[in-house]
């Protein structure tokens, strides 16, 4: 009889634990959109931001992986820089950048400097050579840069909540109408610490990118 009571208590504990776990994983029907909106609001409330990251690009039909290092600095007074350098290849280690301070926007691309009129267009024009890293995270920091074209989004889902991971808290998956997929890992502060994207080009080549980033922030005092 005692054994049966213990088994009953054990099973009841498991059921309660499972219920609490499922309640945390799915707090509402729109949990994924609430998390995404929270992420956006967090970036919009940043006073100063800096990061260091690395992006790896792998294309089908190619055996090698392209590697690039990058860094970002931003403050809410109008200062922004994004720099990057290739790892390996003809331009190994050469530092390139986008700098914006007030209305002065300058880019340096493989030794050639030029002034830009618009920060959004500058980031977009350099998306190719930066493997899109110049646009992935800065779009959330900069008020003038469009965040996400919702008409291009097919679905957003909350794939996982991490309980004990030191870097990850949430994993969002964004599926686009054109067939691309983006995975976004957020930490407990709703900051992006990892991104993975996959897209199939018109020529059939699949391009996979993995971005790992370490952010440091100070938030605005409300």
Spell out the SS3 assignment of the chain: CHHHHHHHHHHHHHHHHHHHHHHHHCCCCCHHHHHHHHHHHHHHCEEEEEEEEEEEEEECCCCCEEEEEEEEEEECCCEEEEEEEEECCCCECCCEEEEEECCEEEEEECCEEEEECCHHHHHHHCCCCCCCHHHHCHHHHCCCCCCCCHHHEEEEEEEEECCCCCCCCEEEEEEECCCCEEEEEECCCCCEEEEEEEEECCCCCEEEEEEEEEEEEEECCC
Label residue 154 by pLDDT band (50, 70, 90): confident
pLDDT computed for residue 4 by the predictor: 45
CA angle 133, 213, 46 (to 5 degrees): 90
pLDDT computed for residue 26 by the predictor: 43
The two beta strands, 192-200 and 206-219, are: antiparallel
128: Cβ–Cβ under 8 A, 6 or more apart, which residues? none
Q: What integer is the mean pLDDT of 65-80? A: 93
Least confident of 25-39, 58-72, 116-130, 197-211: 25-39
d(CA 217, CA 50) in angstroms, rounded, equals: 7
pLDDT (tens digit, 9 = 90+) per residue, 13-64?
333 333 333 334 444 568 888 998 899 899 999 999 999 999 999 998 777 8
Mean pLDDT (the chain, rounded): 82
Q: Say yes or no to pLDDT of 121 above 90.
A: no
Q: How do the domains of the chain map onto residue ranges?
A: 28-219
Q: What integer is the mean pLDDT of 164-174? A: 91
Q: What integer is the mean pLDDT of 174-191? A: 87
The CATH topology of domain 28-219 is: outer membrane lipoprotein receptor (LolB), chain A (2.50.20)
Label residue 152 by pLDDT band (50, 70, 90): low
pLDDT (tens digit, 9 = 90+) per residue, 80-93?
999 999 998 878 88
Q: What integer is the mean pLDDT of 130-149? A: 79
The two beta strands, 170-176 and 112-116, are: unpaired
User: Which pTM was predicted?
Assistant: 0.80
Share of the chain above pLDDT 70, in %: 82
pLDDT computed for residue 98 by the predictor: 94
pLDDT computed for residue 11 by the predictor: 38
């Amino acid at each position: 009889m005692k054994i049966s009571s213990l088994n009953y208590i054990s099973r009841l504990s498991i059921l309660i634990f499972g219920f609490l776990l499922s309640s945390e994983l799915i707090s509402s029907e729109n949990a994924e959109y609430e998390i995404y909106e929270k992420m956006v609001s967090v970036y919009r409330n940043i006073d100063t931001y800096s990061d260091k990251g690395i992006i790896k690009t792998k294309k089908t039909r190619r055996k090698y992986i392209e590697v690039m290092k990058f860094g970002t600095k931003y403050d809410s007074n109008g200062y922004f820089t994004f720099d990057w350098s290739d790892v390996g290849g003809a331009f190994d280690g050469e530092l390139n950048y986008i700098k914006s301070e007030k209305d002065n926007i300058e880019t340096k691309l493989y030794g050639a400097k030029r002034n830009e009129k618009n920060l959004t267009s500058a980031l977009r024009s350099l998306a190719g050579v930066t493997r899109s890293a110049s646009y992935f995270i800065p779009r959330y920091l900069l008020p003038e840069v469009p965040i996400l074209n919702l008409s291009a989004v097919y679905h957003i889902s909350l794939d996982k909540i991490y309980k004990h991971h030191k870097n990850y808290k949430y994993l969002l998956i964004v599926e686009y109408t054109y067939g691309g997929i983006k995975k976004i890992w957020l930490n407990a502060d709703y900051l992006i610490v990892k991104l993975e994207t996959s897209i199939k080009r018109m020529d059939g080549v699949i391009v996979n990118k993995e971005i790992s980033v370490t952010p440091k922030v100070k938030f605005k005092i409300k």
